Structures are given as structure tokens and as C-alpha cells.
Structure 1
Amino acid sequence: MKLKFLTTALVVGMLTTACDKEYLETAPTGSIDAGAAYATTKNAAAAINGIYRAMIVRYLDSQGHFGHPAMMIIVDVLGEDVVIPNTSNTWHLGETRWQAHRSETSVGDQLPYQLYYRLIGNANIAIANIDAAAGAQTERNQIKGEALGLRAFSYFNLVQLFGKRYNAASKPNSQLAVPLVLTPTTEGLPRATVEDVYAQINKDLAEAATLLTTTRSYKSHINLEVIKGFQARVALAQQNWADAAKYAAEARKNYAPMTATQYQDGFSDISNPEWMWGFDHLEDQTEYFGAYHSYISCNFNSTNIRVDPKVINSKLYDQIPTTDVRSKMWVKAPTTTNSVVPTGGVRVPYMTQKFKLPGTPSTSTMGDVPYMRAAEMYLIEAEAQARQGNTAAAASTLFALISQRDPSYKLSTKTGNDLIDEILFHRRVELWGEGFRFTDLKRLNQPLNRNGANLSSAVSVLFDVPAGDNQWEFLIPRREINSNAAIVQNPL
């Protein structure tokens, strides 16, 4: 079966034929049509499980491009805080050098486009068919709400990568984003504007919020609190400070910051009480060397971890107080007694210890992946409050989180930009390796600046990119341009 690419073949995925079998393995509906898949809510639930599964499998036959968790790493190595220390292993070098996302034929550029449109295509099938499914209305609501949430989540990732930043001072944001496909179709569509894509994201999230509750069977699935977390993220990107603070507070209401002991457990267990949403890595779903912890952990026994462990930007780390438990997530001068590595693994300055799997060395990549944590919501709320001039509330929200990380932390007395800078510092430290830095720099309209730290010129190559430069936009993949006559490329 010959398949067109991406937006021109959105029904391709778990609901078509065996030519995409790698995306079907956990979905019993893999070889039947959408009508049968959504004939009952039981079948539909299995189809939705397949969409979640499609978030974490390998794309483009590339071991290092394993769905959304790979994008979390890529988004961070595009910034300055997650550092690849040497060229002993070449995975994600093209991304950290800002070469992959500016090459329309590279795997690193094609991955997010194919990944998120695959999720959108299958979410569209769910949204179009679930209302007629046999089953309880509460079950139809749950499935439709999750599908809307997954579609909004996917478009939010796409618009941030392939479009220019949202600018609240220049509405409507008429700059081009990505095609806005809302029904199952094989028709190639033109790129919608950034404004229109954000409007649809907000519409989907608002509808999902009316359908979902806080109840769910698994933390790997979207519920109302996750939807509110999405709304907080989107409002922050749109500089809608009031909504960002409101939704972040509502999202985290039933989640408390983890303890200092839990913080050192390895960021690989979805049962952590602070995790709001994540991938629950089951034993029958191993991805071996194509998994998040194969590239971000300190102790998985892979070549990538042994020879090229991830490290933190030295300028950032050196600002972390020693009383802060997060200072233990990296080791400035690693030795055999203060750091964990796989057998034969090198130890390099500022190497990570944040992500850790059971066993040393670990021969399993069965680590869960944190997609959303309450800490992020505290930081969104604090930033949004500070940007509204609500200094006391922002300081209080920040204190509620950071005092759990550092018992010596005092309530901030900073104001204005100084307080915002303090919040953003803690955001960089707290969310290191979880996929936020490139999009944070872009939404803040800040330049890339890798100077004066422990980044090697042989590895990073590129050290400065001005804010607003064309290089902040991923290129539309060449395969999409060749198959969709309605689409145009970003500026080269």
C-alpha cells in the first residue's frame, strides 16, 4: 500500500491496514475500519489506548526518535541547559547543533510532524465516530474528552515548533503555523495561522473540560486535571496571565510537591504523587534502546549512557544552593562514591543523576516518563501572578514549591523582573530534561546563548541565535511539501 505523507493521509495509523503494523501492536482494532473500532465504547477505549501507545514508539525507523519522549529530549538539547558533553555517540547531535530541524529531509525535522499528525489523525477518527458508539454516555464522554485533549496537545506542540511565537501584543497572529485538520481526510490543506491554531486548541480544551472528570483508571490517560494543565500551558504561551494562573492552580489542586526523598528516587515511577500525567512503561511494551531512559538516565547500560552521559549547563548548576535537593540531581565532580553510572561508563563534570532506573547497571528501560507534574503548575502560576504584578501571591506560590526542595529557602522579597527571573531560574532547574527549554526561550522571545558554560564547540557548534530569527522555526518536511500542493515552506 502506497501511503502519502502526514497531513494528506491522516487516517493512516492504528485504524488502517497492516502496512503500519508497528503502530498497531497494542490495539486490537488494527486491521478493521473506524466504524467497527468505534462501534462500542469498549472497542473505542482500546483504540484510544492505541493512540497513547503511538506517543512512544519509534518513528522513521530511528532508534533515537521514539515519539514524544524523544521530542522532550530534543526540545531541551536545542536549548542551553541539557548538554551533550562529547561526540563519542552521535545521537541527537544534529538537534543540539540546530541542523536537524532546519533540514527538511532530516529525521529530527520529520519526527514531530509525523508524530503529532498521527495522533491528530487518530483523534479525529475518535471524535467523528464516538457519539454513535454503543455504551454508557459517561464512557462516550470520557473517550471524546481524551481524544479532544490529545488533539489539542498535538497541535500545541506543532504550533510552537513550526510556527512563530504567539505575540499577545500583535493580535491576530496572522503568521503561518500548520494545517488545521479537524476531520478524517486525505486532502492536503494549507497552513492555518498561529491565531487560528491557538483558537482551535482552546476550543478543544474547553469542550474536553465539559466531558472529563478527575476520575480515570490510569494516570497514563488524560483527565480533567490534565486538561486544566494543558490550558495553563497554552495560556502561558499566549501571555494570557490571568488564565494561566487560574488553570494552573486548578490543575494542581489535588497534587502536592514530592518530598526530598522522593525527588531522589530517579524520576522513573508514575506512582510518584506529584506526577499528574505520564507514560506507564509496562513490561510487555519494552522499547529497549529506543526509549526515554536509554538517553536521559544515568545508569541504563547503553552505549549512549556509557560514553555520552547528559550534563547540566555549569552556569545554571553553580547557582543552585547546596541545601537544595535538586543540587543532588547532578554531580559537579563525579567520583565512584558520589555518582552512579553503568559498568564501564565515563564520569564527566556536571553529569546527571536525576533520571535513574532500578539496578546498577540497569538492563531494563522500563522507566515511566513524566509528561506533566504539579511542580510545573506551581511555576506557571507563580510566573503568571508575577507578570500581573501580584508580587505577594507569586512569592507565596513559589515558596510553596521551592521550600519543599530547599528547607533553607526564604520567601522571596524580589519584585518585578527580578522576581520573574527567579521564577524562571527555578523553572529551568526543576524541569531539566522534561522538554521545555527551547519552547520557553521561544515564547519568552529570548535568544539562544550558550556562552561561558561547559558546552563544547565541537559538540554544540552553534552558540548564539537571536530572538525571532528564522531558525526558531522547524522546516515543513520535504515529504509533506511533495505530497501536499496546498502547503508552503517556512523561510530558509
Structure 2
Amino acid sequence: MKNHKTNKLIKKMAFLLASFITILSFTSCSEDPLDKVPLDSYTDASVWTDLKLAEAFANNLYTVLPSTQHNWNDRTNRSWVLSTACDEAFNNFNDYDIWNLNSGALTPDNAGNFDIWKPTYATIQNCNIFLSRIDDVPGDEAWRTRLKGEVLFLRAYAYFKLTSDYGGVPLVTVPFDLNSNFKVDRSTYDQCVDFIVTELDKSAELLPLTTSSLGRITKGAALAIKSRALLYAASPQWNTTNDISKWKKAADAAKAVIDLNIYQLYDKSYADLFTTNNSEIICSRLSSKDPQWSAFNGVEMFNSPSGFHGWANFAPSQSHIDAYGTADGKDITDPTSGYNPQKPYVNRDPRFYKNIVYDGRAYGKPEFCQDRYDAGSSNKAEFYEGGLDSPQGWDTWNASKTRYTFRKYCDTTYNYNSETQTNKTWIISRLGEIYLNYAEAEFKLGNEGTAIQYLNAIRQRAGITVPLTGLTGTALENKIRNERQVELCLEGFRYYDVRRWKIADVTENKPLMGVIITKNGDGTKTYTYTKVQDRIFKPQHYLLPIPRDETNRTSLVQNPGYN
């Protein structure tokens, strides 16, 4: 990348132009009766007389779902940046204005592109328009029913996003028009969850169990997001009295997904789970990408080390690295684990090698990085001081500040520097998450044996052959949380997990760390752990602030702690 900032600007301009063209396609034509209707746009009236056009309208609403595309500061899609908004990773280029949150400086005026309020409510408005019109569109009833189920899901998902970030929000279920009263009071968090769950149940009733169209919403997707919503609602952030009935709802919702019996843990390769369509995926969104060097949204490009001409944009933290246990499943803090801090990458959890690019790890096919061999190196990452992937190496402006990058989601079977892939998949829900949801809820209900059973299924699939036994109480709860930290990394969960568990004031209130690796004269290496970024977390940061212009316009009650 020759000029990162310039290329980002070009990408933004292209994205805005594409968005403008999309908006134009749904704009009514001139009222002049002599004007002809353009062939590439449609009037509002024509959309609601043709199921194909109604489906095109519904397809556009799928943008509320996260995807692999990194559109820099597109507030509808924060899939990657969520990892850098918590203790999981460091953001190399302050995408989405994330350093305001990291530094404890977040206010209703500076949430910037990390804030999702306005674009998410814009999607809700369009969902409401669709749902108010779809029943009158002529055509095949089954087709119309499926589309209605999809949009009910998408609206519920939009509200789930909002409540996860802001708590209780205004529930709007009919389209606004010019005569509407825009001052709608906030519903409580519990009221919002009840609405989301009810809508997801309605959606599940209308949707097919399976579909041949990859990326379309199914019954399993609706039940999976219901499981997540109820798990969050049962957690300490919102369930302050530890109401056991809420944990029972969460457990039942997770078990309902499992009992569909159409999803299986993918046991061929944990790495391939994130680059292939497979039996574990419940819900996903496809991203059909333009050529890498014009779109700037290639997964491999923005996740790979700088010496491989990647951008190391989301760099794993040392605390995330330390979350991986040893090959037999023990924590590295266990004195019997055999962990050696001066040989830190030896004998670790198999998922460590699938998720992380670390110093000395081979990355990609040798023929894809011939320039490294020409320089007397190899395809093994060199994060040590002076190495090709270090701040003193190649493409230094892109060097990882933590000296790690993510391997997860990267397809190393092709050369991302010269080739293009399409239909990259962001996994919105998979069976592995549902197992962990179920384990956590069952633990809270006192069913520790069931919790261990489902934890062991996840760990065995990962390649840990020694099962968990004998854990109970706090030790078992910590293991459940650790499994989510490792298994679900870079999937957008950690940010919300530490908040719903009410531990963010601990995990986020300390410096984000990395490692400095020194290569000694005898070929050995010394590892020194160092601060990469100061992190400050204040009590109000458990929720985002509602944007000030929104509270000024509508008199909504602001979240506590934000003036």
C-alpha cells in the first residue's frame, strides 16, 4: 500500500457514490407526464406491485447485518472494529474513531463512526415501510411469506443491535411520514427484548428451515439470534437480581436451535470453518468484493502482517494471546501446564495456531511471497526487532504494534496481493456459539454437568483431547468465559461479553499490551511485554451515548454518565 490515507479517501468516495446511485434507484421519477420511466430505476408504486421489486427492496435491508467487507467507517458494519473496542485487539489506524472509546474520552459528541443510532433507525424505517406494504403485493403467497419473515428478522436484528449498544430504545413499528410525531419515548430494556423475541418467533414461523440460497435468512437464524438476545438479557448487566427464569429462557432458546438437528460442529479444520460454507454455519452474510486495490476491503489485505504487504489493521492483544491455554487444555497460569514464557508459542491450544500469526509462524504459500525469499528470508513471520514484519521491516507504517496479526478468516490458498476472491462469508451465527450459550445458561441454572458436556464438545473439536472434569463454581464459570474468548475471537462477541458480564471495568481499564521480541546473537529470542495503548473505561461506557443532536431533537433521556 503506497499511500494508505489517500487510498482510504478514494474508497470512501467510491462508497458514497455507490450509495448515492442506490438511493437514486428507489427515487420517484419526475411528475412531468412526458417523462419516461428509466429502465434502471422504479417508482414507489411499481415496487409494491411486483414481488421481484419487493424482494430487491428487502435485499437492500440485509445491509443491517455485518459482513467481511471493511468499509472503513461504514456505521452499518462494525464487524471487525468491535475487536479493537475491547481487550481483544488494537486498531492500527483509528478506524471508526475507536480511540475516543479506548481512551475513556467518549461523549455524546464524539462517538463518530462507532455510533450506529441513525443508520440503524434508517433501516428500521425501511423495514416498517416494507412490512406495511408487502401483504398487498400480488404474486406467490409462499414467496411473499418468506420475504415478510426475512424483514421481520432484519428489523428485530436492528433493534437487537440498538439495545446491545444503548439499552432501552424507542420502539417504532410503523413508517414515519412528514406528519409523524418523531418524539417517541424510550422503552425499557426488558420491553425491547420482549419485542425482539416476539418478532423473531414470528419470523421463525414464516421462514423455511433450509434454503438453497446461501446467505438468506432461515428459521434457524431467527432462533439463533433469539438465543443470543435472551442470553444477554439474562446476564448481570441487565439481570441485576439474577432472576433464574431469565436463564431458563436463555437455555431453552439455545436448546431449540440444537434440537433442529440440521447443524453440526465442523470438525474437518477449524481454520476452514471461516473460509468455507459448512455444516456449522446457521446464519451468514456474503460479501461480493471488487478487486482488492480499488475496494480496500479484502480480509487478507487488512489482517496480514506488513512484511507480506498486509496492513495489520486489527492486531491481537497480548491478553488475547494469553487466553489460549496449552495443548492439553490447561491455563498457562497453571503451574503444571509446562508453559514457558520465553518459549511462548510452543505447545499451545490448537486454536492458537489457527487464529494467530505470531513470530516464526509460516504464513501463506512460499510462491506468494517470493520477494521475502529474494531478501534472504522465508514465509515465516518475523515480528522480532529488525524482522520483515517489525516496525523496522517492510511497509513500516503497517507494522503490527502488538507483534501479532489474526490468521482467522484469512484464506491463505490464494495470493491476495494479485488475485481477487468473491463471496467471502461473515458468520453471524454458528453452532459453536449456540453450544457456548447453552453451556453458560445451564451453568447458571445449576446444571454444571451439562455445561461441561457442551464445553468439552467445543474443545474436542478444536483438538484438545483431555476433557474437562471436576470443575465447579467460579472455576467453571471462568472456563466458560475463557472458551468464548478463544473460540469466538474476531467474531464480534468479546466487546459485548465483557459488558454483559459487568467485568469491562477490569478488562478494559488497563493498558493494552503487546510484545517486543529481541533476536539474540546465539539465535535465541527474548520476549519483553510492553504497553501499546493506554485504555480507560468509565462506568458509563457499559453503554454508548445517544448522539447529542438526537437527544436535542427528540428530548430522549440520555444514558447515565453522559452530560
TM-score, reference length from structure 1: 0.80
Residue 81 of structure 2 corresponds to: 74
Asked if 1:156 is matched to 2:170, the reply is: no
Q: 1:394 to 1:302 in 2, by over 3 A?
A: same
Does the 8 Å CA contact 2:513/2:531 hold for their aligned counterparts? no
Residue 547 of structure 2 corresponds to: 477
Residue 352 of structure 1 corresponds to: 406
Asked if 1:432 is matched to 2:489, the reply is: yes
Once the two structures are TM-superposed, the CA of residue 296 in structure 1 deviates from its matched residue by: 5.7
Offset from partner CA, 1:259-281 (integer Å, 9 cap, x none): 252x2238244x13322212212
**In structure 1, distance between residues paired with 2:66 and 2:90:** 23
**In structure 1, distance between residues paired with 2:203 and 2:27:** 25
Does the 8 Å CA contact 2:264/2:280 hold for their aligned counterparts? yes
**In structure 2, distance between residues paired with 1:409 and 1:296:** 36
**In structure 1, distance between residues paired with 2:197 and 2:497:** 19
Once the two structures are TM-superposed, the CA of residue 104 in structure 1 deviates from its matched residue by: 2.5
**In structure 2, distance between residues paired with 1:145 and 1:301:** 47
Does the 8 Å CA contact 1:104/1:476 hold for their aligned counterparts? no
Does the 8 Å CA contact 2:356/2:407 hold for their aligned counterparts? yes
AA partner of residue 155 (structure 1): Y
Residue 266 of structure 2 corresponds to: 258
Once the two structures are TM-superposed, the CA of residue 213 in structure 1 deviates from its matched residue by: 2.2
Q: Secondary structure at the match of 1:487?
A: coil
**In structure 1, distance between residues paired with 2:67 and 2:434:** 27
Offset from partner CA, 1:387-435 (integer Å, 9 cap, x none): 1111111111111221010242314321222212111101011111111
AA partner of residue 48 (structure 1): A
Of residues 373-382 and 205-214 in structure 1, the stretch that sits farther from structure 2 once superposed is: 205-214
Asked if 1:279 is matched to 2:285, the reply is: yes
Once the two structures are TM-superposed, the CA of residue 157 in structure 1 deviates from its matched residue by: 0.9
**In structure 1, distance between residues paired with 2:503 and 2:445:** 20
AA partner of residue 425 (structure 1): N
Q: Secondary structure at the match of 1:370?
A: strand
Among candidates 506, 509, 513, match of residue 454 of structure 1: 513
Residue 293 of structure 1 corresponds to: 299
Identity percentage of aligned residues:
22
Does the 8 Å CA contact 1:83/1:311 hold for their aligned counterparts? yes
Q: Secondary structure at the match of 1:454?
A: strand
Of residues 344-353 and 415-424 in structure 1, the stretch that sits farther from structure 2 once superposed is: 344-353
**In structure 1, distance between residues paired with 2:295 and 2:323:** 32
Asked if 1:39 is matched to 2:109, the reply is: no
Residue 388 of structure 1 corresponds to: 445
| Structure 2: 5+ residue stretches without partners | 1-16, 29-39, 235-245, 327-346, 362-377, 383-387, 516-529
Does the 8 Å CA contact 1:102/1:471 hold for their aligned counterparts? no
**In structure 2, distance between residues paired with 1:337 and 1:285:** 24
Does the 8 Å CA contact 1:289/1:302 hold for their aligned counterparts? no
Does the 8 Å CA contact 1:82/1:432 hold for their aligned counterparts? no
**In structure 2, distance between residues paired with 1:24 and 1:285:** 23
Asked if 1:135 is matched to 2:139, the reply is: yes
Asked if 1:333 is matched to 2:337, the reply is: no
Asked if 1:198 is matched to 2:199, the reply is: no
- Max Rg structure: 2
Does the 8 Å CA contact 2:316/2:405 hold for their aligned counterparts? yes
Among candidates 316, 338, 349, match of residue 324 of structure 1: 349
* Matched ranges for 1:192-231 at <5 A: 192-231=187-226
Q: Secondary structure at the match of 2:284?
A: strand
Q: Secondary structure at the match of 1:184?
A: coil
**In structure 1, distance between residues paired with 2:68 and 2:405:** 26
Residue 59 of structure 2 corresponds to: 49
**In structure 2, distance between residues paired with 1:272 and 1:123:** 30
**In structure 2, distance between residues paired with 1:245 and 1:313:** 33
**In structure 2, distance between residues paired with 1:332 and 1:463:** 27
Residue 113 of structure 2 corresponds to: 108
TM-score, reference length from structure 2: 0.70
Of residues 186-195 and 418-427 in structure 1, the stretch that sits farther from structure 2 once superposed is: 186-195
Does the 8 Å CA contact 2:357/2:405 hold for their aligned counterparts? yes
**In structure 1, distance between residues paired with 2:42 and 2:66:** 22
Among candidates 419, 436, 444, match of residue 476 of structure 2: 419
Q: 1:474 to 1:48 in 2, by over 3 A?
A: same
Residue 183 of structure 1 corresponds to: 174
Once the two structures are TM-superposed, the CA of residue 146 in structure 1 deviates from its matched residue by: 0.8
Does the 8 Å CA contact 1:287/1:365 hold for their aligned counterparts? no
AA partner of residue 188 (structure 2): T
Offset from partner CA, 1:76-102 (integer Å, 9 cap, x none): 222112234xx5x33354255156753
Q: 1:266 to 1:295 in 2, by over 3 A?
A: farther
Among candidates 429, 441, 455, match of residue 372 of structure 1: 429
Residue 243 of structure 2 corresponds to: none
Q: 1:98 to 1:158 in 2, by over 3 A?
A: farther
Once the two structures are TM-superposed, the CA of residue 301 in structure 1 deviates from its matched residue by: 10
Among candidates 308, 315, 323, match of residue 310 of structure 1: 315
Does the 8 Å CA contact 2:225/2:429 hold for their aligned counterparts? no
Q: 1:302 to 1:435 in 2, by over 3 A?
A: farther
Of residues 28-37 and 118-127 in structure 1, the stretch that sits farther from structure 2 once superposed is: 28-37
**In structure 2, distance between residues paired with 1:41 and 1:67:** 29
**In structure 2, distance between residues paired with 1:461 and 1:267:** 32
**In structure 1, distance between residues paired with 2:479 and 2:457:** 14
Residue 523 of structure 2 corresponds to: none
Residue 174 of structure 1 corresponds to: none
Residue 339 of structure 2 corresponds to: none
Does the 8 Å CA contact 2:351/2:487 hold for their aligned counterparts? yes
Once the two structures are TM-superposed, the CA of residue 376 in structure 1 deviates from its matched residue by: 0.6
Tell me how large the CA RMSD over aligned residues is: 3.6
